[in-house]
Amino acid sequence: MSGIPGLPARRAALQMLDAVMRRGETLEQAEGAATRKLHTSEDKALARAIVSEALRWLTDLDALIDSETKKRLPDDAKPRSVLRLMLAQALRLGTPPHAVIATGLPLLSGGPRRLAHGVFSTVVKQEPTLPAMPTLPERAAERWGGRADEIAAGLADPPELDLRLKDAAQTDKQAVAMGGVSLAPGHLRLPRGTRIEELPGFTEGDWWVQDLAAQIPASLLGKGEGKHALDLCAAPGGKTMQLAAAGWKVTALDLSKRRLGLLKENLKRTGLKASPVRADALTWEPKHQFDAILLDAPCTATGTCRRHPDVLHRIGGRQIAEMIELQSALIERASGWLKPGGVLVYAVCSLEAEEGEDQAEKVALERSPITSAELPGDLAPTDQGWLRIHPGILNEEGGMDGFFIARWSKP
């Protein structure tokens, strides 16, 4: 059976789905081991696409499965997992049913195989359509309250490719050359599926991959003019490169050796300068104070759910509580490293108020309100001068990740 074309990719997708749903791993953690034996980048991309669509539409796929079973399959039952992947292919990726069956049923044996065959065939014969937007898992919908439907609207499709240009003055020229659209100076959006290494300017270091929302925090610090900035939790380096390109002398601190290695590679490719430091921000002591500090803090990353749909199912109260404690400690330390008149920007790619608004309320610095003129598109700050965005915002233009961002100055 291992000789069936396409079967290894489906087996890898099943392994990833199992790692996320049963062991609580991230897709990134699961992907390396699951795709190790796949020989082509196309097979790896297919496995990732299958499991991503299954996770994005999981609640709706489960409803279809449950409609055709006399007794509800346990959430962690292998036949349910295989059916989730089979239906995701048929209903979201346009895979012909016969191909889905040929590559899905070999993942099971005996009675479970017959069950999966019967359920899949019955569902597909009814020619079902999924809703216009995914149904969120119950606990996520409860946490996000009145924003839930708007957030879900931004999850219907995987995101397009966002780039950050090293030279914002080249935005219009690069948009024409690369066939993209720009939603802000220095930003470029291309269709998903674009091969990054083949794009013009990659080798020359003219740009790097960075979601539009993730480009906002560094932009709120303005021009550096040779002043000193600290990028906390800096790797893989998108914000560090933004700051360096804006004229800041950047100290880029991160604890992860592997991720800091990626930051160094990105700096080398772009020709931008920064001072990488591997250290734990909770124990590290700087040699001097800074004019600006960007704290893109570790968080639950629920705002990245359109590109990382595993967070819809992995994150709950326990994970949020763990992040809150760490974020509070980092904010307190960063506040003490600012020069008088220095500016602190705090950002999290999280949709949880506990990691955003609730943290901002506790900061003992002077608020420096964000203004609409500093933001892309029709984005607007809150009454407190903070920014709260989610994946359903700018949806007609392709959307963006969810973030909370706030800014203060030190008296």
Q: Which residues are catalytic?
A: 349
Q: Which string of DSSP letters, residue by residue, matches 75-104?
A: TT-HHHHHHHHHHHHHHHS---HHHHHHHH
What distances in angstroms separate CA 227 from CA 167, 223, 248, 254, 336, one per listed residue?
19, 9, 5, 20, 18
Query: For the stretch 152-183, what's the b/e string if a residue is b when 16 or more beta carbons lie within 10 angstroms of its beta carbon?
Result: bbbbbeebbbbbbbbebebbeebbeebebebb
DSSP character for 393?
T
- Looking at 337-376, list the stretches that DSSP marks H as alpha helix, in order from N- to C-terminal side: 357-361
Strand partners of residue 161: 190
Q: Which residues contact 176 (CB under 8 A, 6 or more apart)?
A: none
Kind plus residue range of the DSSP H or E element containing 325 = helix 317-336
Is the CB of residue 50 less than 8 Å from the CB of residue 93? yes
Contact 58, 52 (CB under 8 A): no
Which of 169, 215, 156 lies closest to 189 in space, CA to CA? 215
Beta strands in 124-248 (DSSP E): 161-165, 187-190, 207-209, 228-232
Closest CA to 116 of 141, 87, 159, 142: 87
> What would the two tokens of residue 136 be?
């969120």
Task: Name the helix (H) or strand (E) containing 382.
Answer: none
Integer Cα distance of 284 and 264 in angstroms:
20
